[in-house]
């Protein structure tokens, strides 16, 4: 029988504590980042839907609806002037396009330790389907 083998206990306290610490830090970061990222995704999706259904609707109405959507979602940086723009263009052949541009920067504050600037620069262009019957 080996006496050397009987002295090994198989404990790994340092590894377990460090793994819990890493998962705790990742969880705390996710609590701050996920709501901001999800809100921006929802606003981008709303811009895509508004651009698709732009036929027969004025730009001002679409802009007002997108601003209301940004406020209800909770994206305050999108409410600033010129953060959301809506442009409709009609081509000579009757086929036009609607472009919705989102340009703003949101800061994610990770408990005062680190600040991350999330730059949103998304442009959605969809064809206007006004002449299709």
27-43, pLDDT tens digit by residue? 999 999 999 999 999 99
In the predicted model, what is the mean pLDDT of residues 46-69? 88
What phi, psi does 18 have (nearest 5°)?
-65, -35
The answer to pTM > 0.75 is yes
For the chain, the average pLDDT equals 85
Q: How far is the C-alpha of 27 from the C-alpha of 48, rounded, in Å? A: 31
Nearest CA among 21, 26, 25, 29 for reference residue 109: 29
Domain segments of the chain: what residues?
13-127
Q: How many helices (H) and strands (E) does the chain have?
A: 2, 3
Nearest CA among 21, 27, 69, 30 for reference residue 49: 69
pLDDT digits (tens, 9 = 90+) for 83-98: 999 988 877 666 788 8
């Amino acid at each position: 029988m080996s006496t050397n083998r009987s002295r090994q206990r198989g404990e790994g306290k340092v590894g377990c504590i460090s793994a819990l610490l890493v998962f705790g830090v990742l969880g705390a970061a996710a609590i701050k980042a996920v709501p901001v990222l999800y809100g921006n995704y929802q606003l981008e999706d709303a811009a895509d839907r508004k651009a698709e259904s732009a036929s027969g609707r004025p730009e001002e109405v679409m802009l007002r609806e997108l601003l209301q959507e940004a406020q209800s979602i909770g994206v305050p940086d999108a409410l600033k002037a010129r953060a959301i723009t809506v442009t409709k263009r009609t081509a000579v052949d009757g086929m036009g396009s609607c472009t919705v541009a989102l340009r703003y920067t949101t800061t994610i504050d990770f408990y005062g330790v680190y600040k991350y600037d999330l730059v949103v620069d998304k442009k959605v262009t969809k064809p206007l389907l006004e002449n299709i019957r």
